[in-house]
Amino acid sequence: MSFLHTVLSLIVTLGILVTVHEFGHFWVARRCGVKVLRFSVGFGKPLFRWRDKHNTEYAIAWIPLGGYVSMLDEREAVVAEHERSLAFNRQSVWKRIAIVAAGPIANFILAVITYWLVFVSGSSALAPVIGAVTPNSLAEQAGLQANYEIVAIEGEPVRSWQEVALALLAKAGDSGEITLQSREWQGYNEVQHFVTLDRWLAGQSTPDPLKSLGITPFSPAFPAVVGQVIEGGAAKAAGLLVDDQILSVDAVAIQDWMQWVAVIQSSAQKTLSVEVQRAGELVTLRLTPNSKNLSDGRAIGYIGAAPQSVSWPEGMIREVQYGMFESIGQAAIKTFDMTLLTLDSIRKMVVGLISVENLSGPITIAKVASDSAKGGLESFLTFLAYISISLGVLNLLPIPVLDGGHLLFYFIEAVTGRPVPEKAQQLGLRIGMMLLGSLMLIAFYNDLMRL
C-alpha cells in the first residue's frame, strides 16, 4: 500500500508539472500562429489519445517522466506549401523565443498560484525559539541562548523555523560572517550575534543547518506516557497500552519521551525489561524493538508507539495568513526567493561548495511527494511549488537539449541577425545530451544510495 501511494504521488506530481510546462509551450505556439501536431504528457506508447478541431493530437503515454509538444517544422518533415507559414522554423526569432520560454515561465506561474493558495488558506508555523544550545558550538560562540527567539538573519525578518532553515541553507558553502538577531521569548530587547563560517556545510550530502550551528528548537516536555499503540508493532506485541507511563528500562530511570525514544533507537533487536505504571500499579514488560535502516546505512530500533499530545505555550504556534490580493505579492516574492536559492545552489554545486550528492532523481522525488501528500494539502502544495520552480530553473539553464539551450541559440540569432550554424547546433546538442545524461546518472545513483 505504501509503495502504491508513493507511485501514485509521483504520477500526480509529475503529471501536474509536465502538463503545465508543456501547456505553456502549446498556448503561446497557438497564439503565435504555429500549428501544433501533438501534445503528449508522458513518453512511449499512448494509453489515451484524441484530436481537437485543429487536428492536434493529445496523448497520455505510459512513461510519466516528461512530455513534449510537437510542432510543424520543416527541419523535421516535409511541410506542404500552404502550411509553411504555420511552421515553427518560419516564425520570427522573437516568436520562437516566446514559445520556448513559455514552458519554464508556466512553471513559475504555477508556483505563484500554489503559494497563493497556501497563503490565502493560511498555515501554521512554529516560532523559532531556541530550546538548547550545544556547548562549544558556533551558536554558543556567537552568544545565542536557550529561550531566545531568532527574529532576523542578515537583517531579513524570520517568523518560523522553516524560514530560519531556508535562510541558513542559502549560506551553505559560504565563508565569512553572518549576522543573527534574537530576543528573549516574548521580550523586546534584541541582541545581535555574529557567526563566523568557513566553507560551512560544504560537501555534506544531507546538510542540517540547525544542528551544524548547535541549535535545538524548543519543544514542550513530552512525558514518557503512551498515547498511541500501532497494530502489528513491537509495542503491541509486548503488551504496552495507551496511558502506560514508562518508568525505567533495564533499571535505568526514564525522565521523558525523548529519552525513551533514544533508548529504543539504540536497542534494535535487543530484549529490554521495561517497567511501566498502569492504573496505579507497576507492570514489567519484555520489549524487543524492531529494526529499520536509515538512508546512511545505520540501523535503529522502533516499536510502533506515540506519546500523548501536549500543549504548546501560547503564541508558540503562529497562524500565517494573508488576504486574497496581498497573497499575490507574497506568493510572487516567495517564488522569486526560492528561484534565487535554487540558482545559487546550482552555482555552489558547480564550484564544489555543495556536494553533488544533493542531486535527486525520480525515486527521491516520489518518496518526498508521498511524504508531503501524507502531511496534508498544505505540505503537498508547498512541495509542488518548490519542484515546479526547480523544473523552471533547470529548463532555463543554457544547456543545449533544454529550453535554455534553444533560447541561447535564438538570442545569438537575434543579436547577429543570422541563425547559429547547423553544425554548431548539432555539436551543442550532443554535448548537452552528454551533460544531461551524466547529471541523470548521478541523480539515479544518489537515489539508489539513499535506498
- The percent of residues in the chain predicted with pLDDT above 90, rounded, is 64
Specify if 4 maps to a domain: no
Q: Is the pLDDT of residue 40 over 90?
A: yes
Banded model confidence at residue 108, pLDDT cuts 50, 70, 90:
very high
Q: What's the per-residue H, E or C state across 209-246?
A: HHHHHCEEECCCCCCCEEEEECCCCHHHHHCCCCCCEE
Long-range contacts of 441-448 (CB under 8 A, 24+ apart): 442/356, 442/359, 443/359, 443/360, 443/361, 444/361, 444/363, 446/356, 446/357, 446/358, 446/359, 446/360, 446/361, 446/364, 447/360, 447/361, 447/362, 447/363, 447/364, 448/363
Q: Which residue has the higher pLDDT, 65 or 91?
A: 91
Give the Cα-Cα-Cα angle 90, 93, 99 (nearest 5 degrees).
85
Q: Is the pLDDT of residue 296 over 60?
A: no
Query: Do 170 and 316 share a domain, yes or no?
Result: yes
Backbone dihedral angles phi then psi of residue 332, each to the nearest 5 degrees: -65, -40
Report whether 299 contacts 267 (CB < 8 A).
no
Residue numbers annotated as active site: 22
pTM of the predicted model over 0.85:
no
Instruction: State the distance between the two ends of the chain, measured CA to CA, in whole angstroms.
Output: 18
What is the rounded average pLDDT for all residues in the chain? 90
Residue whose C-alpha is closest to residue 67's, from 22, 28, 106, 10:
22
The single-letter code of the amino acid at 170 is A
Banded model confidence at residue 295, pLDDT cuts 50, 70, 90:
low
Query: Do 275 and 192 share a domain, yes or no?
Result: no
Query: Do 343 and 439 share a domain, yes or no?
Result: yes
C-alpha distances in Å from residue 199, one per residue of 169, 175, 177, 214: 12, 5, 11, 16
Taking residues 140-157, report their average pLDDT.
94
List helix spans (H) across 214-361.
234-238, 257-265, 326-350
| pLDDT of 370 | 80
Specify if 71 maps to a domain: no
Helix, strand, or coil (residue 360): coil
Query: Do 341 and 404 share a domain, yes or no?
Result: yes
Specify if 191 maps to a domain: yes
Task: Give the range of the structural domain holding residue 152, as residue numbers without chain letter.
Answer: 124-220+311-320
CA distance 146 to 134: 10
pLDDT tens digits, one per residue of 350-386: 887 887 877 787 777 777 888 788 778 888 999 999 9
C-alpha distances in Å from residue 357, one per residue of 60, 203, 439: 33, 8, 11
pLDDT tens digits, one per residue of 172-217: 888 999 999 999 998 888 999 999 998 888 877 778 899 999 999 9
| pLDDT of 367 | 78
Q: Is the pLDDT of residue 279 over 60?
A: yes
Task: Among 278, 307, 336, give the residue marking a domain's end.
Answer: 307
Query: Do 342 and 451 share a domain, yes or no?
Result: yes
Banded model confidence at residue 97, pLDDT cuts 50, 70, 90:
very high
Across 305-398, the runs of DSSP E, i.e. the strands, are 305-307, 317-320
| pLDDT of 58 | 95
Backbone dihedral angles phi then psi of residue 191, each to the nearest 5 degrees: -120, 135
Residue whose C-alpha is closest to residue 95's, from 437, 421, 413:
413
pLDDT tens digits, one per residue of 225-262: 999 999 989 999 999 999 999 999 999 999 999 899 99
pLDDT tens digits, one per residue of 54-88: 999 999 998 888 899 999 999 888 989 899 999 99
- Element housing 387 (H / E): helix 377-396
| pLDDT of 451 | 63
| pLDDT of 218 | 92
Residue 21: CB atoms within 10 A of its CB come to 27
Backbone dihedral angles phi then psi of residue 318, each to the nearest 5 degrees: -105, 140
Q: Is the pLDDT of residue 117 over 70?
A: yes
Q: Is the pLDDT of residue 171 over 60?
A: yes
pLDDT tens digits, one per residue of 123-147: 888 999 999 999 999 999 999 999 9
| pLDDT of 196 | 92
Query: Do 158 and 252 share a domain, yes or no?
Result: no
| pLDDT of 354 | 82
Query: Do 273 and 332 share a domain, yes or no?
Result: no
Query: Do 274 and 193 share a domain, yes or no?
Result: no
Specify if 29 maps to a domain: no
Q: Is the pLDDT of residue 38 over 90?
A: yes
Domain count, the chain: 3
Query: Do 298 and 424 share a domain, yes or no?
Result: no
**Cell numbers linked to 88:** 515553427
CA distance 396 to 107: 11
Query: Do 214 and 235 share a domain, yes or no?
Result: no
Q: Is the pLDDT of residue 156 over 70?
A: yes
Query: Do 113 and 143 share a domain, yes or no?
Result: no
User: What is the CATH number for 246?
Assistant: 2.30.42.10
| pLDDT of 2 | 66
| pLDDT of 448 | 79
Query: Do 104 and 131 share a domain, yes or no?
Result: no
Helix (DSSP H) and strand (DSSP E) numbers for the chain: 12, 18
